[in-house]
Each structure stands twice: as C-alpha cells, then as structure tokens.
Amino acid sequence: MTAYFQGLVLPGAGERPRVAELRRPEVGPGQVRVRVRAAGVCHSDLSMVNGTIRPSYPLVLGHEAAGEVVEVGANVTRAAVGDHVVLNWQPACRTCWFCEQGEPWLCSTSSGVASLENGVTLDGVPVHVALGLGAFAEQVVAPEKAVIRVPQSLPLEKAALLSCGVLTGAGAVRNTAQVGAGESVVVIGLGGVGLSVVAAARAAGAAQVIAVDVTEAKKGLAEAAGATDFVVSSDALSKDIRGRTSGRGADHAFECVGRAATIRAAWRATRRGGKVTIVGMGSNDDLVSLSALDIFSSARTLRSSVYGSADPDLEIPRLADDVLTGRLTLDHLITDRIPLSAIPSAFDQMTRGEGARSLVTL
C-alpha cells in the first residue's frame, strides 16, 4: 500500500481548498483504515470554508462518507477487513453524563470538536481532519467507534448519505419532532437535509408536507422527495402557509437553513401550540428576536435537533434497512457525482442554493 494518498486540504481561513498529496498515517490500537468510496458535500464543510465554523488549519475537509475497511488495529471488535461502513463524525463516548442520560448526540467528548490531528502530514506539517474524519480523501484512519457496519447490498453511494444529511433530517422528524400520521409539516430550505426532512415526514404519514425554498428550481426535487405543496419563499410566506392549512398554520415547521430570518419565518408559519424544529446550523452573531408576548400567547415549542437527536449506532442500521426495503428513497438527493477536484465548485453551487447533494466518488 502506497505511503501517500490524496485529500482535499483547506490551507487556511478564507482560502480555496485544493487537492494535495498526504502522508498515510499508521493504524494504531482500536483504529481502522477505511478506503473511502463515496462522500457527500455537506453544508457543514462549507461552514468551515466560509468561517461559520472555525477549525484548525491546514484541514482535510469532509465528514459524510462511506467506504470499505481495509486495515484494522489491535483489539478492534466493531469491524473487520472487507466490511462496508458508514463513518460517524460524532461517535459517542458512552461514559459522559449526556451519554448516560441516553442523549449520545450531545456527547461532551465529541460534541463541538471541529477538527483533530490524526497523524496525517502535508510536506511534513501536521494536518487536521474535519470533525475527526477528513473524509474528502482516498482513505481515513479513525477510531473503531466512528465506523458503523451496513449491509454490502446497500450501495455505498447511498450509505454515505446516511452518515450526516439523511440521519440529521430523518432524525429531526422521527426523534425530535415526532411527526405523526395526518399532521401538516412545512420545511424551509431544500438542501440535502431539508429534502431528507420532506421524505421522512411523508414516510411518517404526514398528510401535508409544504416545501419552501427561494427558487422555483427546487420544486422538482421537493416533489420527488414527497412534498405535497411547494412554495417560493417571500415576505408573505406565513400567510401563504396559513392559507394552505385551514387558516391555522402547520403543526410542524422545520428550519433547515440556519438563519435568524428563516427561523422567524418557521415560527410564524406554525399554528398555535405547534412545534418549530431548528435543523440548520447558523452563526454565533445572527440573533433571533421574538417578542415575549408572542412566545407566551402562541404556545409554540421551539427547539433544535442536533444530529437528528439520534444514536447513530442504532439509527444508521435502521435507515439502511429502510432504504433496502423501499420505505425510504434517496435517489432524488444525488444531483451531481464529482471527483475531489470539483468540490470547490460544489461549494459555489451550494452557496447559490442550487442542487441537493453533490457526491464525491472515489
């Protein structure tokens, strides 16, 4: 096996990512080497490029991925050479207070870790890896708890999407909001996560799923995901939503953008006593303003959904089964298949609000 591999490196804040040759790290006890076969271009990667998330540099980007285990270290029990695995960018420690309370998505050990060193070097200089993985690369060395086995009958292109976008969107519907049959749902922002919310809401039996985006170009993707209605966002959005929901507003609203303006729009589009779930990750200085009287009188619930309020070790195998049995479809999510070198252009496309998921195939 060659001592080098290729990965997409972000040299520093505000710079353009580039494909570079990296030195292969050794596999230590409790670690596995995964040959990455597919990786989704997620908004969290873009957030590291544009400064919303501030990792250490230089940085190998990427975290939503799947591949094949090609080497295991001593004492590894979760995976064997030849296994197909999904990468988990937030593996639970299972010993902190949050994990012991049954909330591994809030694990105090792994939460908030934007980047780590793991032995990868660029011209002898240590390189950090995004969210402990650095999956925009031909290979990843990670702790065994960061890999989750999936059936080999599940195509790795689809398995990669389960790693972040689908788990986040489906988990927000199933775990955080617990959407029920016959309820009405509005989804604001139709990237890969938002479209996953749409698909999961329909799978949960929602009678009405109103998809909202800033461009009419997303209508076809929304309908393919299962949306019953499509609305182009405007200042009259809450009035439009009420007009489609017997004058009340939706039972549930999911904000999948991460901006104060769209959070307020989701709040206003929800009926009294309804639930507003924030899935998009915003910036620290984008403040949301709601009146104290409105909060009281509306009786709405506002909460966030971190990583789909999910335990990936349990949820990813369930999602894999849903895909294999046809209960959950993912084909509409993949709008482009690209090489490593095209990821910067995919970031540009994401910034313009185009497409759903660009998938890197290696």
DSSP line for 1-46? --SEEEEEEE-STTPPPEEEEEEPPPP-TTEEEEEEEEEE--HHHH
User: What contacts 136, CB < 8 A, 6 or more positions away?
Assistant: 7, 8, 39, 45, 60, 61, 62, 130, 340, 343, 360
**4-163+330-361: CATH class:** alpha beta
Phi, then psi, of 106 in degrees rounded to 5? -110, 15
Q: Which two tokens stand for residue 263?
A: 């959070």
* 78, amino acid identity: R
Look at residue 121 in the predicted model and tell me its pLDDT.
81
What pLDDT sits at residue 227?
Answer: 97
Q: What pLDDT does 356 receive?
A: 84
pLDDT at 110: 85
| Torsion angle of C-alpha atoms 336, 147, 104, 172, degrees rounded to 10 | 20
pLDDT at 125: 87
Instruction: Give the C-alpha separation, 264 to 262, whole Å.
Output: 5
Beta bridge partners of 121: 23, 126
CATH 3.40.50.720 maps onto the chain at 166-306
The side-by-side arrangement of strands in the sheet containing 270-278 is 229-232, 208-213, 184-188, 250-255, 270-278, 301-304
**Could you tell me the two tokens for 228?**
């019953």
The answer to whether 268 and 250 have CB atoms below 8 angstroms apart is no
Tell me how far apart the alpha carbons of residues 331 and 196 are, in angstroms, rounded to a whole number: 11
Give pLDDT, residue 2: 67
- HSE at residue 281, side-chain half, CA atoms within 13 A, is 18
Do you find a cis peptide bond into 58, omega within 30 degrees of 0?
A: yes
CA distance 163 to 319: 10
Tokens of 272: 């009294």
Per-10-residue mean pLDDT of the chain, 362 residues long, equals 86 90 93 97 90 89 97 97 97 95 93 80 88 95 96 97 96 98 97 95 96 94 96 94 96 96 97 97 92 97 96 96 92 92 94 88 94
pLDDT confidence of residue 120: 80
Strand partners, 208: 184
Q: Strand, helix or coil at 226?
A: coil
- CATH 3.90.180.10-classified regions of the chain: 4-163+330-361
Quote the CA–CA distance of 351 and 328 in Å, as a whole number: 27
Find out whether 63 and 164 touch, Cβ atoms under 8 Å: yes
Q: Which two tokens stand for residue 24?
A: 């292969």
The pLDDT of residue 52 is 83
- The model's pTM: 0.93
Report the alpha-carbon distance of residue 42 to residue 354 in Å, rounded.
13
- When the candidates are 3.30.420.10, 3.40.50.720, 3.20.20.140, 3.40.50.460, the CATH number that belongs to 166-306 is 3.40.50.720
